[in-house]
Amino acid sequence: MFCQQCEETARGLGCTAGGVCGKDNDTACYQDAVNFALSGLAYRKIHQPAGAKVPANTVKQDKDVVAILFATLTNVNFDKERFKTYLKTIISYRDAYPKISGEPKQCSWIPASEEDIVHLEGGIGLLAIEDENERSLFSLLLFGLKGMCAYYSHAEALGKTDPEIVSFIYKGLASRFEKHSIEERTALVLECGKMGVKMLALLDEANKHYGTTAITKVHCGVGTKPGILVTGHDLKDLEMLLEQTKGTGVDVYTHGEMLIAHAHPDFAKYDNLIGNYGTSWANQKDEFPKFGGPILFTTNCLVPPPEEYRKKIFTTGSVGFAGAVHIPEKADGSKDFSEIIAMAKKCKAPQDLKLTDITTGAGHDAVLAAAPKILQLINEKKIKRFVVMAGCDGRHKERVYYTEFAKALPKDVIILTAGCAKFRYNRLDLGDIEGIPRVLDAGQCNDSYSLVVIALELAKVLKTDVNALPLSFNIAWYEQKAILVFLTLLALGIKDIMIGPNLPACVSPDVLNTLVKQFGVQPNTTVEADMKTLHIV
């Protein structure tokens, strides 16, 4: 195996003997195989000559492509058997298209045996792309596409689709087997960012399904009844579970990225949605055993569970873990959560982690409603700067940097955030500036679009360019949705983004050079130095 898609990749280079995330060799190789076959399918689909006899209806195929690519994102699916099935599915979709004369031989790849997949060193993985810069650019593109598929699947679940985004997913995947110059590959990566803007806007629209978020203080204590803990990003799953637990005597709690649900009016109406339990995904091994009841994973981040609570793990959607009960979607889109509810009834109520309440829900509507006050505070120099500290959390100790950075910020600086990175500082009690909280949390990484809208609106009102605003970016990344958000920010023309705690390992020296020269991208260093670099002090 060779995987370097996340920030915690081994030695900052790549995982080769089992993933730091817990993904084993065979599952990693099957993920490579799935990605390889997806590129073959995409190539066949895109390059058919006019008049070719192609599948007439690709609705199911498109949905599966999105869900399967999402399954290869970090911490989503560790179940090799699921990837075996996915591989067959993709190959059957691919082979429903006629062969194209002169197509690259990779387009008709069929593994001779399992050995062919799990021991085929360099044959189907990204290392098979020999040119370092080509590999770097295709990796960035593929990771961005994985993020896009994650976001697309959420939007799709809430009835929002966009054929242009799906077409781009195929276009990007197909590019692996096409001949392109480095300039063209660079342009494709940036196009992925442009499509990211569309994607995030679509998801923002989709999430309105549950009403507009309001700035909300979320209860973080526990009740006396047994509970189900819901984690991941899929609000539709949470809604279905809340409907099915009504009147059963089972409470529901959110974990990690599900925190934002409490700020949506449609979720606030459930009286068995008690509060948020714990912090970010990175602490699940400490927090989950104390919860007592079963845990439902709707998306990443799943950490392979120890024996202690393994039997209490349920997965759904693209998530998978061998041995965990998987709750499938039925043909009508519904899911039956009765098994998890039955287990919860036999469990004890959660142990109180004694964590303070936290505030979330500062999406663009909520923040822009306070725009007159914010502008007044800017004019009075009571707000001097905003710093976007969005992104992911992770397990490594070095992420204490983000806590220290937030603590060290002058009191007239406001943090704009989204994603699980916030759990590094959202309980610091940083206070407010005349009623405007100093940590404005838009919600999930899925809600990053809010930060963009806030920045662009501020620029409009202040009649300036977004890069001339008193605004700095200090982004924490971990998985591939953050790569898409990063590319989206580049596509919007945002300069001088600081990114950490380590740069993506797939970035080659030449690609880094482009990112630095064209966009001013910079790695984070120390709190003290970065405060100056970002013009905060």
| Contact partner at residue 419 from ligand SF4, ligand SF3, none, CB < 5 to 8 Å by partner kind | ligand SF3
Residue 169 contacts which entry, ligand SF4, ligand SF3, none (Cβ below 5-8 A, type-dependent): none
Q: How far apart (Å, rounded) are the C-alpha atoms in residues 344 and 145?
A: 36
Candidates 90, 141, 235, 301; binder of ligand SF3 (CB under 6 A) is 301
Report residue 455: phi and psi, to 5°. Answer: -65, -45
- In the complex, minimum distance from the CB of residue 74 to ligand SF4, in angstroms, rounded to a whole number: 4
Look at residues 401, 412, 409 and name the one whose alpha carbon lies nearest to residue 499.
Answer: 401
Residue 6 sits in the site that holds ligand SF4 (CB under 6 A): yes
- Is 220 flagged in the annotation as binding? no
Chain-centre distance for alpha carbon 338: 28
Coil, strand, or helix at residue 84?
helix
Q: Is residue 506 annotated as involved in ligand binding?
A: no
Is 256 one of the binding residues for ligand SF4 (CB under 6 A)?
A: no
Is 36 or 168 the residue whose CB approaches ligand SF4 more closely? 36
Strand partners, 416: 388, 440
φ and ψ at residue 55, rounded to 5 degrees: -55, 135
6 annotated to a ligand binding site: yes
In 3D space, the residue among 249, 248, 238 whose CA is nearest the CA of residue 295 turns out to be 238
C-alpha distances out from residue 366 to 90, 97, 200, 420, Å: 42, 48, 18, 20
Q: Could you say which residues in the range 248-277 bind ligand SF3, by CB under 6 A?
A: 256-257
Task: Give the residue carrying structure tokens 């529901």.
Answer: 252
Angle formed by the axes of helices 448-461 and 371-379, to 10°?
60
Among 61, 74, 279, 514, binds ligand SF4 (CB under 6 A): 74
* Pattern 61-90, ligand SF3, x by CB under 6 A: --------------x---------------
Task: Mark residue 110 as left, alpha or beta (left: phi above 0; alpha: psi -120 to 50; beta: remaining).
Answer: beta
15 binds ligand SF4 (CB under 6 A): yes
Question: Binding residue per annotation — 130?
Answer: no
Residue 460 CB-half CA count within 13 A: 8
For residue 149, say whether it is annotated as part of any ligand binding site: no
Residue-wise DSSP of 327-362: EPPPTTS----HHHHHHHHTSPPPPP--PPPEEE--
Q: Give burial (CB, 10 Å; 0-12/13-18/19+) of 243.
A: exposed
Binding segment for ligand SF4 (CB under 6 A), chosen from 20-28, 174-182, 219-227, 446-454, is 20-28
Does 8 engage in binding with ligand SF3 (CB under 6 A)? no
Establish if 151 lies at the interface with ligand SF3 (CB under 6 A): no
The whole-angstrom separation of Cα 362 and Cα 379 is 21
Footprint on residues 471-510 left by ligand SF3 (CB under 6 A):
478-479, 481-482
Q: Does 316 bind ligand SF4 (CB under 6 A)?
A: no
CB of 446 to ligand SF3, least distance (A): 7
- For position 4 contacting ligand SF4 by CB under 6 A, the verdict is yes
Question: Under the criterion CB under 6 A, does residue 229 sit at the interface with ligand SF3?
Answer: no
| Interface with ligand SF3, residue 419, by CB under 6 A | yes
**How many residues of this chain bind ligand SF3 (CB under 6 A)?**
17
Whether the CB-CB separation of 393 and 399 falls below 8 Å is answered with yes
Residue 445 within binding range of ligand SF3, rule CB under 6 A = yes
Nearer to ligand SF4, 76 or 415 (CB): 76
Strands (E), 149-284: 216-218, 227-231, 251-254, 273-276
Q: How far is the CB of 424 from ligand SF4 (least distance, A)?
A: 20
Q: Is 347 annotated as a binding residue?
A: no
What sign does the dihedral 162-163-166-168 (CA atoms) show? negative
Tell me the window of 21-29, 164-172, 365-373, 390-398 that interacts with ligand SF4 (CB under 6 A). Answer: 21-29
192 is in an annotated binding site: no
CB contact burial 142-160 (16+ within 10 A = b; e otherwise): bbbbbbbbbbbbbbbbbeb
3-state secondary structure 425-471: CCCCCCCEECCEECEEECCCHHHHHHHHHHHHHHHHHCCCCHHHCCE
Q: Which does 478 bind (CB under 5 to 8 A by kind): ligand SF4, ligand SF3, none?
A: ligand SF3
Q: Does 20 bind ligand SF4 (CB under 6 A)?
A: yes
Nearer to ligand SF4, 19 or 391 (CB): 19
Q: How far is the CB of 302 from ligand SF4 (least distance, A)?
A: 11
| Per-residue tokens: 343 | 């287990």
Q: Which residues are annotated as a binding site for hybrid [4Fe-2O-2S] cluster?
A: 233, 257, 301, 392, 420, 445, 479, 481
Under the rule (CB under 6 A), what is the footprint of ligand SF3? 75, 233, 256-257, 281, 300-301, 392-393, 419-420, 444-445, 478-479, 481-482
Under the rule (CB under 6 A), what is the footprint of ligand SF4? 3-6, 8-9, 15, 19-21, 23, 28, 74
Q: Which residues are annotated as a binding site for [4Fe-4S] cluster?
A: 3, 6, 15, 21
